[in-house]
Amino acid sequence: MSFRPSCDPLASSSSSNTWSPLVQRLEQEQEQRQRQQQPRGGGTMVPPSQYGIKYAVHIISSHFGDLVAKVCECLLRRGPLTHRNIVRFMEISASQVKNCLLVLIQQNCVQAFSVEHPGGDEDESRRSTEYMAVFDNIIHRMRFPKFVAVVSQELDKECVELFQGLLQHGRLTLEKMIDRAKSGQDCPAQDATRETLSKLINARFVERCPDPEPHLSPPSEEEGRARKRTKFSKVAAEPQTIEERVLAAAAPMEAKRFLTIFHTTTEEDGQKTECSFPGVGEKRKCDALESDKELGSDGSQVLWRVNVQEFMHRFRHKACVENVRERLDGGAAVALNAMLETSRSMEKKVKTDNAGPLTINTIYEEVMKGEAGRAMTLDHLRASLVMLGCERGTDESYQIDLKNIIELAQNEEVESVVLKRYGREAYRIFRLLSKANRLIETDKISSTAFVDKTETSKILFRLWKDEFLHMEKVVVTGPRQTQFLLWKVNKSTLWPHVLDEMYHAALNLNLRVAYELEKENELLNLPIEKRSGPLEKRYNRLRTVRLLLESSLMKLDDAIMLFHDF
């Protein structure tokens, strides 16, 4: 049974007139502190937490060894560094650092960039090359099986094999892909590899690699004043954090990102035709083709990599649909899925907050494509759209806020953690504070949540000690000095704390899997015919434990994406 407060918990308090102005002042001061703690530029990129760094370092260590992991950890903890500074901090040879950086760059885990030092002139001596660890790409390495599953559902076996090669090598040119295919048993033709790559590009599963070393100039005074003017405007300000500036400068322009310039031979007429991504402006396409002449006339030297954004885009939509299915019903899930599928071509970024606006007829056309939607009538669809909370336009167009669905899913995830860890009474108290979204006094929490006052105080202090609640003390002076303890769920600090705990749990699960495999290493190396009797039982036990741990890790990763990537 879920607890839903029917009214404002502070509205009927007899002492609210005494300390209500103090509560408002405390909330204003708290909001001001939160704004000051936000990163410049209002970006969504949050510095990795301590367990997030440990988790990323463990991933790199298990994939590429301890030396590469140490270089990666140095960049994660200290931020962008030059090659010389990495050598100084690591106390290893320059050649070892160089080789480690080359591995990390090849695997898209490090991005190089050149920076012009303030006060320098235009000559090259004032510029230096720095290296920045890309935390998100490191964590994405644990999602490679999910990526392969999506590709295998939509494309053929040849596309899956080529896609797995890109996951293994990080980035490849067409020439390397052809050489890799020729090393196999079937030895497919060059045109077959080009056609397979074209399918992956057209599905947006593969994209061009970013600029290997973009240049960052120090922001001028005029640019700084312009950003200050647009700080509170509706137009998004230019990214100001170093991570955002580097990734934005390195990203290829949209006209070139999915553009293919190699030629394929058709089976019908044997003629060579140029492959290019449809929908690109002719002028921008020509500019991109001109810039690729240096990389070979057939585009064989262009570097390609997996487009992680496309998969995050799909996982985000799937999470929204599943949340709506569990929270509302199947009809609402079908309606939401239809809106997302229809508006997919309109969305250019992974984190798009809205889907639509779409007319009722457009949505219904997409609904009818699925077996579950063929039984829906227009009235049923309208009722499902109302249930979703869609905004209705004058021409019966509908628009839904995906950000609200994600926030509800995040709330449910944290509430489930509180329920399992602290019990049902703590769950009711936490849910009350989460929905109130304001400071509430202890006595009012006790009376509204129907929990004994003494037990309420114990639960509140326990949640506060574990950083699930924020507490403020208010002292009211007068004939009798009274102290009030006010409680609130501060999501701006709680969500990063929950995410850090998830990284900690994911790290522990990975360590446990590694421990189980290392403990039974000799058993795994035995031939199958020798695994009999007790050895077979040990092997079956290991397989069951591994399956349980890895399935738990996959579910935990879904929760990590909910808080970090969505």
Per-residue pLDDT reduced to its tens digit, 439-487:
888 989 998 888 888 999 999 999 999 999 999 888 777 777 778 889 9
Instruction: Look at residue 267 in the predicted model and tell me its pLDDT.
Output: 43
Residue pair 561/503 in contact (Cβ under 8 Å)? The answer is no
Identify the residue with better confidence: 382 or 27.
382
C-alpha dist (Å) from residue 40 to 64, 385, 564: 34, 37, 18
Phi first, then psi: give them for residue 19, nearest 5 degrees. Answer: -120, 10
Q: Which residue has the tokens 């574990």?
A: 466
Q: How many CB atoms lie within 10 A of CB 213?
A: 15
Q: Which one, of 313, 381, 303, lies nearest residue 343 by Cα?
A: 313
Task: Give the mean model confidence (pLDDT) for residues 221-225.
Answer: 50
Q: What is the pLDDT of residues 173-203, one digit of tens each?
A: 998 888 887 765 555 567 888 899 999 999 9
Percent of the chain with pLDDT over 90: 45
- State the chain's mean pLDDT as an integer: 80
Question: From CA 439, how far away is CA 524, in angstroms rounded?
Answer: 57
Q: Are strands 215-216 and 110-116 parallel, antiparallel or unpaired?
A: parallel
Instruction: Look at residue 220 in the predicted model and tell me its pLDDT.
Output: 57
Q: Which residue has the tokens 């056309």?
A: 365
Task: Give the mean model confidence (pLDDT) for residues 65-71.
Answer: 95
Instruction: Give the tokens for residue 369.
Output: 């494509």
Task: Give the mean model confidence (pLDDT) for residues 101-113.
Answer: 95
User: Position 325: which residue type?
Assistant: R
Task: Give the mean model confidence (pLDDT) for residues 43-61.
Answer: 82
Question: From CA 78, how far away is CA 86, in angstroms rounded?
Answer: 10
pLDDT at 146 over 80: yes
Identify the residue with better confidence: 255 or 54.
54
Phi-psi region of 546 (alpha: psi -120 to 50; beta: other; left: phi over 0): alpha
Q: What is the pLDDT of residues 382-394, one digit of tens each?
A: 999 989 888 888 7
**Range with the lowest mean pLDDT among 238-242, 283-287, 321-325?**
283-287
- In DSSP terms, 114 is beta-bridged to 129, 215
pLDDT at 236 over 60: no
C-alpha dist (Å) from residue 564 to 136, 213, 498, 534: 9, 27, 11, 44
Band the pLDDT of 412: cuts 50, 70, 90.
very high
Task: Give the mean model confidence (pLDDT) for residues 144-171.
Answer: 94
Identify the residue with better confidence: 44 or 352.
352
The 10 Å CB-count burial string (b at 16+, else e) for 410-447 is: bbbbbbebbbeebeebbbbbbbbbbebebbbbbebbbe
Instruction: Look at residue 560 in the predicted model and tell me its pLDDT.
Output: 95
Q: What is the pLDDT of residues 328-351, one digit of tens each?
A: 988 999 999 999 988 875 554 444
Q: Is 155 helix (H, G, I), strand (E, B) or coil?
A: coil
Q: What is the pLDDT of residues 526-555, one digit of tens each?
A: 888 888 888 888 888 999 999 999 999 999
Instruction: Look at residue 40 in the predicted model and tell me its pLDDT.
Output: 37
